[in-house]
Structure 1
Amino acid sequence: MLSPKQTLDTYYLEARRDLLEVAALLDRYDEAVNRAGGPADDESRLKVLREAMEVLAQGDHPQPNRTELLLEHFSKIN
């Protein structure tokens, strides 16, 4: 079992890469909105992603179950 520091040291770069991918997706969407002159007719997937980021942005969770929370959250949409 890894220590807290070892956990961060081991997974930090991977998590940073994944967050940059999300940022790139949001930038591409914003650029597409600007080109099209308006948002997509159905932004439900964007809404679900933003809500998921809110879950992750919360401070200390009483239980380490963020993955489970997100899986349940994502199951609400196709």
Structure 2
Amino acid sequence: MNQSRTAQQVLEAEILPLRAKLLEIAAGLDRIERGDAPAAAPETMATIRTAIETLLRPGGQRAERIQLLFSRTYDDRWRDAMEV
């Protein structure tokens, strides 16, 4: 018997891991801010902000959209570029 879980059941199962990850992200951003990295890496910080905004948008495939934000564009010559 394969029953799907309700949104409430999924939330109850996921809340503690999600909370831990959110706290980890918040702590990482605090460390970056204390280290003055936003001034040193504005493009990377902009990508992080876009990823956080993506989390807030409705609709599925958030993980895919965030993965694509941090991915390089495909290069047919990647083996040469990475000397593989």
Partner in structure 2 of residue 20 of structure 1: 23
Partner in structure 1 of residue 76 of structure 2: none
Number of equivalenced pairs: 70
TM-score with structure 1 setting the length: 0.76
Partner in structure 2 of residue 51 of structure 1: 50
Partner in structure 2 of residue 39 of structure 1: 39
Runs of 4+ in structure 1 deviating by more than 4 angstroms, as ranges, are none
Gaps of 5+ in 2: 74-84
TM-score with structure 2 setting the length: 0.71
* % identical aligned pairs: 31
Q: Is the radius of gyration larger for structure 1 or structure 2?
A: 2
Gaps of 5+ in 1: none
Q: What is the deviation of 1:39? A: 2.1
Which amino acid in structure 2 is aligned with residue 39 of structure 1?
A
